[in-house]
């Protein structure tokens, strides 16, 4: 069974998430944006074996500690989609612009695409390509648990910004409504920032993507 722990990191309080298999205790960390010591402590406290780093996208508050985590645990980096390569290339500039003291360039071991599967222990996560916030954003979905980690695509009551380079509002709306909402109203999701919600709740009340705006 999938277990998870949300670890808010960086001054942006980004929801870094530990996912693990409670049968094998193999784990993956999603979006380790910073605060290496908090992530390391959570891995140790739960007696987990970290097997990979997963990235929804390459903004620095989601990816800043990727190199340090992957190097320390000697694990591969999977994600995001290759269209976010330019954001990885910009990590030195992002680091300076946003005042991150501990962020380094990295190279993903595997780019992810729509319908890919990532696995650790007995857990398999489905990959959904959801551009708009960034051109290479992906989402991770565990069907058995009806749980998704959506990064900065969707939030409780809001959606991701599209005013960054190569962000596209119409593309983001399409990603949410055509790639995420069909997974079902009961799906709970962990956003990149803020509290969890469900796709059903957002279809009902989110002012940006609620059904009433598209009927």
Tell me the DSSP string of 57-91.
---HHHHTTHHHHHHHHT--EE-S-GGGHHHHHTH
Q: Please give the DSSP secondary-structure letter assigned to residue 212.
A: G
- What proportion of the chain, given as a percentage, has pLDDT over 90? 93
| CATH numbers and ranges of domains, the chain | 2-96+108-213 (3.60.15.10)
CA distance 24 to 82: 30
pTM to 2 decimals?
0.97
- Cβ count within 10 A of residue 92: 12
Positions of E strands within 97-171: 117-120, 123-129, 138-142, 147-151, 154-155, 158-159
Q: What is the tens place of the pLDDT at every residue in 63-118?
A: 999 999 999 999 999 999 999 999 999 998 888 888 887 799 999 999 999 999 99
Name every residue whose Cβ is closer than 8 Å to that of residue 199 and which is 6 or more positions away in sequence. 148, 180, 181, 183, 184, 185, 186, 187, 189
Strand pairing of 138-142 and 123-129? antiparallel
Q: What is the pLDDT of residue 160?
A: 98
149 and 28 Cβ atoms separated by less than 8 Å: no
Considering the chain, what percentage of its residues have pLDDT values greater than 70? 100
Closest by Cα among 157, 145, 143 to 202: 157
Q: How far apart are CA 103 and CA 68, in angstroms?
A: 8
| Distance from C-alpha of 138 to C-alpha of 84, rounded to nearest angstrom | 10
For 151-176, what is each residue's pLDDT tens digit?
Answer: 999 999 999 999 999 999 999 999 99
């Amino acid at each position: 069974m999938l277990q998870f722990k949300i670890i808010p990191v960086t001054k942006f309080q980004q929801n870094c998430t530990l996912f693990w298999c409670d049968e094998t205790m193999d784990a993956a960390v999603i979006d380790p944006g910073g605060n290496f010591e908090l992530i390391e402590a959570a891995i140790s406290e739960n007696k987990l074996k970290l097997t990979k780093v997963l990235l929804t996208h390459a903004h620095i508050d989601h990816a800043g500690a990727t190199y340090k985590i992957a190097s320390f645990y000697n694990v591969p980096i999977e994600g995001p989609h290759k269209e976010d390569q330019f954001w990885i290339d910009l990590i030195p500039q992002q680091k300076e612009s946003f005042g991150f003291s501990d962020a380094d360039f990295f190279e993903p071991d595997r780019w992810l695409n729509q319908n890919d599967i990532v696995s650790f222990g007995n857990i398999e996560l489905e990959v959904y390509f959801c551009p708009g916030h960034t051109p290479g954003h992906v989402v991770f979905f565990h069907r058995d648990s009806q749980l998704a980690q959506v990064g900065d695509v969707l939030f409780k009551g809001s959606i991701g910004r599209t005013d960054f380079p190569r962000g596209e509002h119409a593309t983001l709306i399409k990603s949410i409504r055509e790639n995420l909402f069909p997974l079902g109203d009961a799906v709970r999701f962990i956003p990149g920032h803020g509290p969890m919600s469900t796709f059903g709740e957002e279809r009902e009340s989110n002012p940006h993507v609620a059904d009433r705006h598209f009927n």
